[in-house]
Chain A
Amino acid sequence: MKILVCISNVPDTTTKVKFVDSDTKLDTTGIQWVINPWDELSLTRALELKDDPSAGVKSVTVAHVGLPASEPTIRKALAIGADDAFRVNAAPADSYFVAAQLAAVIRKEQYDVILCGIESSDYNGSMTGGMVAEFLGIPSVSAVSDIKIENGSPLLTREIDGGREIVTVPMPFVAIVQKGIAKEPRIASMRGIMTSRTKPVRLYEPEAEEPLTGIKVYEKPSPRAACKFIDPENAGQLITLLQNEAKII
C-alpha cells in the first residue's frame, strides 16, 4: 500500500500578516514557512501506519505544489520520516489549480491512500481534497479523525454531529483529515534530518491549467478595541458600561 500526503506550505501561525502592492499581495518578508498543521498531522498518522507492520504500508510520499522556495518545507516532511516526495513547480494559485496539478501527477504515480488536510491555515479554502478526488474520479471521505487499516482494508472514523461514524471505502481514495488524526505532530530525528538531504524529490512541470479564482484585494480585520479594566469595588460602573456602551444588557 502506498500512501500520499499532500502538504501545503503556510506561514507560521505567529506571523503578523502584512500586504503589499495596494493590498493585493502577501508580504512574504521575514515569514517562517511551515507545513500546514493539518497536513503535518496527516503525515504523522501516515508514518504511524507505516511503523505498524500489520497495516502493510509500503511507502509514504509527500506531494506539494509550489516554487523552489518551498523546498525546506518538503525536506522537513522528509526529515520527519516520509520516504520520498514530488513537487509540481508552480505557484499554488488556488484550490482548483493545486488539485488539478496534484491529480495529474497522482494519475501517473498511482497511490492507494491520498491524505489531504481539511484546510490550510493560510487561505482556509477547504476544497483541495475534494477536488483531487473529483479529478481522479475516486471516492473521498471528509472530516476524517482516524484512519485504521485492518486486514488490508481502511476503516475511517468521521466526526459527525452528535457522534461519529466509521466508514469503509475502496482504494484508492482521498481522506480529508482534521485535527485528532494524530495526537501531536511528529518531530524530526537527527538521522531523519541527515537522510532527508538525499531522499528523492521528483520535480514535475505544471499542466496547463488556469486558476478559477484570483485575489482582488486583502483586508485585515479592524484592530481589537483596548480592554477596559474596572476596579472590583466599582461594580456599578461595569453595569453602566455594559448597558450604555456595550449595549448587551
Chain B
Amino acid sequence: MIRQVVFALALLATVGVFAFTIRRIVSFFRHTRPGYPVRQIGKRFVIMLKVAFGQTKIFSRPVTGLAHALVFWGFCIILFGSIEMVIDGLAGTERSLSFLGGFYDFLMGSGDIFAYIVAIAVIIFLVRRIFIHIRRFEGIEMKKISHIDAIVALSMILLLMISLAGMNIGYAGGTIISGEPVKGVYPVSTWLARLIGNESPEFMHTLYEVCWWTHILSIFVFANMLPYSKHFHVFMSVPNVFLSRLEPLGKLTNMDNVTREVKLMMNPETAFSAASSDAPVERFGVKDAEDVVWKTYFDSLSCTECGRCTSVCPANITGKKLSPRKVMMDLRARMKEKGPLMTSNGRDYSDNKSLLRDYITEEELWACTTCNACASECPININHPSLIVDMRRYLVMEEASAPGELKTVFSNIENNGAPWQYSSEDRMLWARDLNFSIPLMSDCAANGTTPEYLFWVGCAGAFDDRYKKVVRSFAKILNHLKISYAVLGREETCNGDPARRAGNEMLFQMQALQVIEVLKSYGVKKIITTCPHCSNIFKNEYPDLGGSYEVINYLQFLNRYAAEGKLGINPGSLKGKAVTYHDPCYLGRANEIYDEPRALLKRLSGGFTEMERHGSFALCCGAGGAQMFKEAEKGEKEVFIERTEEALRSGAEVIASACPFCMTMLTDGLKYKNRENDVRNLDMAELVAQSLEL
C-alpha cells in the first residue's frame, strides 16, 4: 500500500509539473499568429507514418540514420512497458497487461531486445558527441550548453535502458530460480541472467525492485526535463511531421494583408483615397517571436539541433554566417525570453530587444539562396526558409531596408518590368534573326486564333545574352514540333519572383496581378517556361492571387515528347562525351523534377555521370532567392565556385543545366577555374536542339 501511495505521489508530481510546463508553452503559442488550417488529415497520417514512424528522411545518412531509427522504434515499443508500469504502480499489480498473451510476449520480447540496442546506439551517440569531432555538431550556435544538453539527455536515455535491462534481468533471473511461470518473453535478459549464474533469489528481487523504481522515476524526471531542453523533440517531432506544410517546398505563403493593399492601390478609385485608419496594425513580416505563425514556433520546439540543415546549406558550407539550425534555435530562445513577458504584460509588450538583430542579423538573412536544401533535409519537415523570407519581408516592407543592389532591382522591376535595366521594347531582340517568326499573343488575338501554349520567355530569356541562345534553341524545338504557341513579347513583364524572394511582397503582388490581367485577356490556360523560377511561381504561387494555369516546365515537355517518340533525338550528338547534370533548386527540391532531365540526357549520351551531391542533395549554384542580383555575403568561398569544382570533379566535359541563373553561375565558375575551353556549360534545350540539328 505504501508503495502505491509513493508511486501515486510521484506520478502526481510528474503530471503536475508537466501540466505547468505545457500551460506555459501553450501560452507562448497564443502569442503567435494563425497559420494554415490543418486539413487533409488522411494525407497527414500517411506522411506521419512515412516520415515520422518510417524514419524515411533520417536514412539519408544510413549509419547514424539506422541508429536513430532503432532508438525511435525502441522507444515506441518500450513505451508500452512504461504504461504497464504506471498501471502496476497505481494498482499494486504485477505485469498487469500480461493477459494480452502472445501480443504481450511480442511487445516484451522486442522491448527487451530494443533495450540493449538502444543502449548500444546511445553509447555510440555519446562517443560521437564526446570523443569524435563531428562538424555537424559545431557552429556558432552550438554553445557549451547545447553540448551539455545533448550529453545529459543521452545519458538519461542510457540510464533508462540500463535500468530497464536490470529490471528484466532481475525478473527473468528471479523466475529461473523460483521456477515460477514467466509473464512475457525476455530473450536477451534471460540469457544474461543465466550468464550471471545462480545468484540468490533476494539478489534478483532487489535488482528488479531497484531497477523498476529507477526506471519509472527516471521516466518521470526525463519527461519533465525534455520540454526545457532540445530533446523536447521527443514529444514534438511526431506531431510536427503530422502538421507539416503539404505544399511544394518552392511555394511561399501569400500575404493576404498585402493583397488587400495592392488591390486598393491598383484601383484608380481607391488609389489615393482609402483612409489610413483602415490599415492593419499588424506588422508586415517577422521582426520578433510573436510575429511568426504557430507552426514556425512548433518547428523551433521540435528541432533537436541535429544540424543536417546547416550541413547542406550552401551559404554555411561556403563560410557565410547563415545557419538554418541557428535560425530555429534563435526563435526558440527568443520566445523563451519574451514569451513569459508577453504572457504577463500583453502581446504588445516590448523589452527593447527583438529576434531580428538581437538574435538573427540581417547578414544571415540576406545570405539565404532559398534553395530549400535545409527544409528538404530536415528529418522532421521543419521549414526554415519560410521564416527567413518572412524576416526579409519585415526588413523590406516595414523598414524599406535591403542590400543596395536589391533596391535597384526593385526599382527596375517597378519602372521597366525587369530586374535589369532594359526597355520592355527590347523584349523580342532574342528572336531577331531566327529563320522563322515567333508568334505573338497580340497577333493571335487579332487573327482570332488561340494558341495552345503561352511560351513565357522570362527576363533572362529576353535580356541575358547567354540565355537568349537557350530560349532561341527552345523556340526552334517548338517550331520543329509544330507546337501551337505564342509569346507575349513587349507585353511580358517580370512576374515578381526576385522581388518576392527578396521580401518585397508588395512589388511581387503588383507584378503578379498585372500579369494575371494580361494572361486573362488572352485566355491563357497552359504556360510553358524554360526558367524554373518562372515555372515555380506560376505553378505554385499565382493560384493564391487568382491565376491558375497548367504550368509545364520545358524539361517535362521535352521528356514527354521524347518518351512518345515524337522528338527524333539523334543519340550521336553527345556520344562519347561525359555529361553531368546540375539540378536547379527550383526544379528539383522545389518541384521534384529530377527524372526528366536524366532520362533526356541518357537518350542524348552514353556517358552520363552524376555529381557527388545531386538530386535532392544537389548544391545550389548560389543565385537563387534574388542572390543573382547582389554580391554574396562575406564567407570563405563563393557558392558558384564550390559547385563548379564539384561539377569538374565529376569528370564531365559538358555540364548540363536548366536555369538561367545556374547557367550564369556555372559559366562564371568555369571561367574562374580557367576551364571554359575544355568544359562546356550547356542548357538542356541547347543539347536537345543540337541533337535535332536545329
Q: Closest Cβ of chain A: how far from B444's Cβ, in Å?
A: 21
Indicate whether A23 reaches chain B with its CB closer than 8 angstroms. no
A32 to B261, CA, bound (A): 21
Give which listed residue, B258, B415, B422, contacts A190 with CB less than 8 A: B258
Is the Cβ of A32 less than 8 Å from the Cβ of B276? no
User: Known contacts A32-B416, A185-B407; is A190 also within 8 Å of B421 by CB?
Assistant: no
Indicate whether B275 reaches chain A with its CB closer than 8 angstroms. yes
Is the Cβ of A190 less than 8 Å from the Cβ of B398? yes
User: Known contacts A71-B272, A197-B272; is A190 also within 8 Å of B408 by CB?
Assistant: no
Indicate whether B4 reaches chain A with its CB closer than 8 angstroms. no
The contact string, 1 if C-beta is below 8 Å from chain A, for chain B 417-431, is: 000011111000000
Indicate whether B179 reaches chain A with its CB closer than 8 angstroms. no
Chain B, Cβ-Cβ closest to A199: B276
Residues of A close to B449: CB separation below 8 A: none
User: Known contacts A12-B416, A197-B271, A197-B272; is A189 also within 8 Å of B422 by CB?
Assistant: no
Is the Cβ of A184 less than 8 Å from the Cβ of B415? no
Give the dominant DSSP class at B's interface. helix
Indicate whether B279 reaches chain A with its CB closer than 8 angstroms. yes
A184 to B402, CA, bound (A): 11
Q: Closest Cβ of chain A: how far from B302's Cβ, in Å?
A: 31
Q: Closest Cβ of chain A: how far from B269's Cβ, in Å?
A: 12
Q: Within residues 262 to 290 of chain B, which ones have a CB less than 8 A from any CB in chain A?
A: 265, 271-276, 279, 284
Q: Closest Cβ of chain A: how far from B258's Cβ, in Å?
A: 7
Indicate whether A213 reaches chain B with its CB closer than 8 angstroms. no
The contact string, 1 if C-beta is below 8 Å from chain B, for chain A 184-212, is: 11111111111101100000000000000
Is the Cβ of B398 less than 8 Å from the Cβ of A12? no
User: Known contacts A14-B423, A16-B425; is A190 also within 8 Å of B407 by CB?
Assistant: no
A188 to B279, CA, bound (A): 16
Is the Cβ of A189 less than 8 Å from the Cβ of B400? yes
The contact string, 1 if C-beta is below 8 Å from chain B, for chain A 11-35, is: 0111110000000000000001010
Is the Cβ of A195 less than 8 Å from the Cβ of B408? no
A191 to B398, CA, bound (A): 6
Interface size class of B (residues with CB under 8 A): 20 to 34
Is the Cβ of B402 less than 8 Å from the Cβ of A187? yes
Q: Closest Cβ of chain B: how far from A223's Cβ, in Å?
A: 14
Indicate whether B410 reaches chain A with its CB closer than 8 angstroms. yes
Indicate whether B399 reaches chain A with its CB closer than 8 angstroms. yes
Indicate whether A216 reaches chain B with its CB closer than 8 angstroms. no
Chain B, Cβ-Cβ closest to A81: B400
A13 to B421, CA, bound (A): 8
Is the Cβ of A189 less than 8 Å from the Cβ of B397? yes
A6 to B77, CA, bound (A): 76
The contact string, 1 if C-beta is below 8 Å from chain A, for chain B 113-154, is: 000000000000000000000000000000000000000000
Residues of B close to A195: CB separation below 8 A: 276, 279
User: Known contacts A16-B425, A187-B402; is A193 also within 8 Å of B261 by CB?
Assistant: yes
Q: Closest Cβ of chain B: how far from A221's Cβ, in Å?
A: 16
User: Known contacts A71-B272, A194-B276, A194-B279; is A187 also within 8 Å of B410 by CB?
Assistant: yes
Give which listed residue, B272, B274, B407, B421, contacts A187 with CB less than 8 A: B407
Q: Closest Cβ of chain B: how far from A46's Cβ, in Å?
A: 15
Give which listed residue, B272, B274, B397, B415, contacts A32 with CB less than 8 A: B415
Give the dominant DSSP class at A's interface. loop
Indicate whether B404 reaches chain A with its CB closer than 8 angstroms. yes
A190 to B394, CA, bound (A): 9
Give which listed residue, A187, A190, A198, contacts B284 with CB less than 8 A: A190
Indicate whether B506 reaches chain A with its CB closer than 8 angstroms. yes
Indicate whether B411 reaches chain A with its CB closer than 8 angstroms. yes
User: Known contacts A14-B416, A16-B423; is A185 also within 8 Å of B411 by CB?
Assistant: yes
A34 to B425, CA, bound (A): 18
Which one of A71, A184, A188, A197 has the highest number of Cβ atoms from chain B below 10 Å of its Cβ? A197
A16 to B265, CA, bound (A): 27
A16 to B425, CA, bound (A): 7
Indicate whether A108 reaches chain B with its CB closer than 8 angstroms. no
User: Known contacts A14-B415, A32-B415; is A189 also within 8 Å of B274 by CB?
Assistant: no
Residues of B close to A12: CB separation below 8 A: 415-416
Indicate whether A50 reaches chain B with its CB closer than 8 angstroms. no
Residues of A close to B400: CB separation below 8 A: 80, 186-189, 192
User: Known contacts A75-B272, A187-B400; is A193 also within 8 Å of B415 by CB?
Assistant: no
Residues of B close to A15: CB separation below 8 A: 423
Is the Cβ of A190 less than 8 Å from the Cβ of B275? no
The contact string, 1 if C-beta is below 8 Å from chain B, for chain A 83-94, is: 000000000000
Chain A, Cβ-Cβ closest to B506: A190
Is the Cβ of B397 less than 8 Å from the Cβ of A190? yes
Q: 10 closest Cβ contacts across the A-B interface?
A: A190-B397, A189-B400, A14-B423, A14-B416, A12-B415, A184-B404, A198-B276, A16-B425, A187-B400, A194-B279
23 A–B contacts from the bound complex (CB under 8 Å)? A12-B415, A12-B416, A14-B415, A14-B416, A14-B423, A16-B425, A75-B272, A184-B408, A185-B411, A186-B407, A187-B407, A188-B400, A189-B397, A190-B261, A191-B279, A191-B284, A191-B397, A192-B400, A193-B265, A194-B276, A197-B271, A197-B273, A198-B276
Q: A12-B416, A13-B416 are in contact. List 15 more A-B contacts (CB 8 A).
A: A14-B416, A14-B421, A14-B422, A15-B423, A16-B423, A185-B407, A187-B396, A188-B400, A189-B396, A189-B400, A190-B397, A190-B398, A193-B265, A195-B279, A197-B276
Q: Which residues of A contact B (CB under 8 A)?
A: 12-16, 32, 34, 71, 75, 80, 183-195, 197-198
